[in-house]
Amino acid sequence: MPGLEDLYREIILDHYRTPRNRGELDSPPAIETNGHNPLCGDEITLFLLVDDASKGDAATVSDVKIGGQGCSISQSSASMMSQAVIGKTAGEARALIRRFKSLMSIEGIELQPGDDDIALGDLEALQGVVKFPVRIKCAVLSWNTLADALDRATSEPPASG
Ligand code: ZN
């Protein structure tokens, strides 16, 4: 009977081989943000489309597309991240970023009430990464890129003629 580690490995490989939400969005209106992990060579291009950006944390993440290339951890993490945040509010997405970075033992993350209750779904498969500190940067690359994109999406004035 396969153990939990085998199951997690299968989930990671599935997202690596069949990445979800791969592609591009028109920018604008989408925000395009790039992330790079020089330690491993991972690259992420993230397209984020937010509805009602002026609502700040109550704005809705309506679409995410992912481009780039890199190791299985970076690419599968980006795939899972895209799947997890589409349809959430910007505030919920930020809470999930805190939750995931806390799972990765990133220092300086201040969890807020309720963050511990957020369901991780497939993201649980990445928890073993924490045992390999050099890979943590791979796993959080797309999340840092998402955080940048969320900040830009909810702070930039909407484009107008
Ligand atoms: Zn990597």
- Please provide residue 48's backbone torsions phi and psi, each rounded to the nearest 5 degrees: -125, 125
Q: How far apart are CA 13 and CA 75, in angstroms?
A: 10
d(CA 71, CA 78): 11
What's the CA-to-centroid distance between 114 and ligand 1, angstroms? 30
Which residue is it, tokens 């481009």? 67
Say how many Å lie between the CA of residue 39 and the centre of ligand 1: 8
CA of 58 to the centre of ligand 1 (A): 32
Dist. CA 72 → ligand 1 center (Å): 7
Tokens of 150: 């969320």
Domains of the chain in start order, with CATH, are 2-154 (3.90.1010.10)
Q: What percent of the chain has pLDDT over 90?
A: 86
Kindly report the length of the chain: 161
- Distance (angstroms) between ligand 1 centre and the Cα of 147 equals 19
- Locate tokens 């890979």: which residue? 135
pTM: 0.92
Instruction: Give the angle subtended at the CA of 73 by the CAs of 72 and 77, to the nearest 5°.
Output: 115
Distance 103 CA to ligand 1 centre (A): 17
What separation in Å is there between the alpha carbon of 135 and the centre of ligand 1? 6
How many angstroms is it from 40 CA to the middle of ligand 1?
Answer: 5
Instruction: Name the residue among 110, 155, 104, 138 with its Cα closest to residue 36.
Output: 138
Half-sphere exposure of 119 (CA within 13 A, CB side): 6
Express each pLDDT in 73-119 by its tens digit: 999 999 999 999 999 999 999 999 999 999 999 999 999 999 989 99
